[in-house]
């Protein structure tokens, strides 16, 4: 739309002298001016409800004040309260139209089609539904970001991290990964649930008071598997029934301890990593054995059953716990300074006397015979000091020889009683570090020796 520019300089004509032909205004000049004004007027819009066609160009000059009541743009409209555009008609901002705002007939779109960021700025930014009745998300400067579901906050950031209200639902095989190298992984494979430590450190499960591993059933009636109580016991359960509990002195077991493995070591006992003893089990046809001890110093408890007669028999014998095999002649019953009191038996002891296991077999010498005769006269009656301390005058008498008298009888004939198995001298250090010596007699050998000296 062109602006009017006069083609005749009327002001200049006023300066010419009278009778100067240039001072005369010609009809053609009036005609040219009226024609230019007519053309300019035809290109100007009306002040009331103007209608534009084609491209409307707004000059870049600053407009101090402009009020647009209503402007029809193609099929859209600009009025005092809104800018109305049809579907896919865009508001474009930026020298290269980098920011676009429009409705595509299905969705409302704010599109950053340039190379920079799309930034929404505000000290407190809130996204709401169209009516402003529900909050979708909120973002606070120097504060948190909150995501909502149905106007209820569900995920919120804070100075410590993230707070979640409700459940976190993830598909099978999707993992929660923790640690710089994803060392801790929590997931469900589709068949099983896993908590895996794939790093180099340990996996620690901590509870401030009680830690319980239990059946995945809601409520207090779910079966327990393991329960750990701070500064107290660790309990193991079977079918929700406690079977093993740790104590300050060891363990308490409810029920039987059963090892269903093959023959061999059932349990080992260690101090500082060193094996100090164990229990072994062996079973065969009609024989069940249990061996208890340490190394080769063990006792084997054998239980035998004769299926033909139904007769039950058994024995306790020296054995090797490593194999359960026999270890004859290697174990003493009692020791110096730690004697048994009484031994109750239906029959006497059986002493090995096979010639194939002996050597240096000789008859008694004359000197040995004289000692044997002298020993016959050494039989005395006496009371044990320990019995008197316990029973007083009620302590009973016993019969036998005094070991020192026996030792003296040998010495009287120039013999050393220590060279003969019927005399025993044992030395040890007691619990107070004091060395002790005790003399003893093998009565089966002493009686055989005395009988040998009879004429």
Domain boundaries of the chain, sorted by first residue: 10-91, 206-257, 258-334, 362-455
Rounded CA-CA distance 15/198 in Å is 104
Coil vs helix vs strand at 389? helix
Does residue 166 come out as left (phi exceeding 0), alpha (psi in the -120 to 50 range) or beta? left
Architecture, CATH, for domain 362-455 = Orthogonal Bundle (1.10)
Write down the pLDDT at residue 218: 63
Orientation angle between helical segments 366-376 and 443-452, nearest 10 degrees: 110
Q: For position 2, what pLDDT does the model report?
A: 60
Q: For residue 251, what are the β-bridge partners?
A: 246
As a whole number of angstroms, the distance between CA 177 and CA 185 comes to 5
pTM over 0.75, yes/no: no
Tell me what pLDDT residue 384 has: 94
Nearest 5°: CA angle at 292, between 241 and 324?
A: 115
C-alpha to C-alpha distance for 266 and 258, rounded to whole angstroms: 9
Provide the 3-class DSSP secondary structure of residue 84: strand
Contact at 8 Å (CB) between 84 and 77? yes
The Cα–Cα gap between 420 and 375 comes to 14
The two most distant CA atoms of the chain are separated, in Å, by: 203
Stretches where the chain sits below pLDDT 70 are 1-2, 43-76, 80, 218-220, 258-262, 285-286, 306-312, 455
309 close to 286: Cβ distance less than 8 angstroms = no
Handedness of CA 7, 10, 11, 16 (dihedral sign): positive
Q: What is the DSSP string of 317-344?
A: EEE-TTT--B-TT---SSBTTB------
* The pLDDT of residue 72: 55
pLDDT value at residue 314: 80
Q: How many CA atoms lie within 13 A of 374 on its CB side?
A: 16
Determine whether 363 is exposed, middle or buried from the number of CB atoms within 10 Å of its CB (0-12, 13-18, 19+): exposed
Q: Nearest 5°: CA angle at 300, between 296 and 303? A: 165
Residues in contact with 306: Cβ distance below 8 Å, sequence separation at least 6, in sequence order:
286, 312, 313
Q: Say what the pLDDT of residue 63 is.
A: 45
């Amino acid at each position: 739309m062109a602006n009017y520019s006069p083609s005749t300089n009327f002001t200049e004509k006023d300066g010419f002298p009278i009778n100067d032909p240039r001072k005369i205004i010609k009809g053609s000049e009036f005609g040219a001016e009226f024609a230019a004004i007519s053309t300019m007027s035809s290109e100007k819009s009306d002040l009331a409800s103007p209608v534009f066609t084609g491209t409307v160009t707004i000059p870049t000059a600053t407009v101090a004040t402009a009020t647009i009541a209503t402007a029809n743009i193609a099929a859209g409209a600009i009025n005092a309260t809104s800018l109305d555009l049809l579907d896919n008609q865009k508001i474009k901002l930026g020298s290269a139209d980098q920011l676009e705002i429009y409705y595509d007939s299905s969705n409302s779109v704010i599109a950053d089609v340039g190379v920079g960021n799309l930034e929404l700025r505000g000290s407190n930014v809130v996204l709401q539904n169209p009516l402003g009745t529900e909050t979708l998300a909120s973002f606070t400067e120097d504060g948190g970001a909150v995501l909502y579901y149905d106007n209820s906050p569900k995920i919120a950031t804070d100075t410590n991290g993230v707070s979640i209200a409700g459940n976190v639902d993830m598909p099978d095989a999707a993992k929660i990964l923790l640690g710089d190298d994803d060392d801790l992984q929590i997931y469900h494979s589709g068949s099983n649930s896993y908590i895996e430590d794939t790093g180099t450190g340990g996996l620690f499960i901590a509870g401030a008071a009680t830690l319980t591993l239990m059946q995945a059933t809601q409520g207090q009636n779910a079966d327990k598997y393991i329960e750990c109580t701070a500064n107290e016991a660790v309990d193991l359960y079977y079918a929700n029934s406690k079977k093993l509990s740790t104590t300050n002195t060891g363990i308490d077991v409810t029920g039987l301890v059963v090892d269903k493995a093959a023959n061999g070591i059932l349990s080992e006992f260690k101090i500082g990593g060193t094996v100090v003893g164990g229990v072994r089990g062996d079973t065969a046809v009609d024989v069940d054995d249990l061996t208890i001890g340490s190394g080769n110093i063990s006792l084997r408890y054998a239980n035998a059953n004769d299926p033909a007669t139904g007769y039950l028999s058994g024995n306790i014998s020296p054995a090797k716990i490593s194999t359960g095999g026999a270890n004859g002649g290697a174990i003493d019953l009692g020791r110096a300074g730690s004697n048994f009191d009484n031994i109750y038996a239906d029959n006497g002891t059986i002493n090995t006397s096979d010639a194939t296991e002996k050597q240096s077999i000789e008859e008694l010498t004359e000197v040995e015979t004289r000692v044997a005769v002298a020993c016959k006269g050494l039989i005395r009656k006496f009371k044990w000091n320990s019995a008197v301390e316990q029973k007083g005058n009620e302590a009973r008498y016993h019969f036998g020889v005094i070991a020192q008298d026996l030792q003296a009888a040998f010495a009287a004939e120039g013999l050393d009683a220590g060279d003969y198995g019927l005399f025993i001298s044992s030395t040890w250090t007691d619990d107070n570090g004091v060395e002790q010596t005790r003399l003893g007699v093998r009565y089966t050998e002493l009686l055989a020796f005395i009988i040998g000296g009879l004429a």
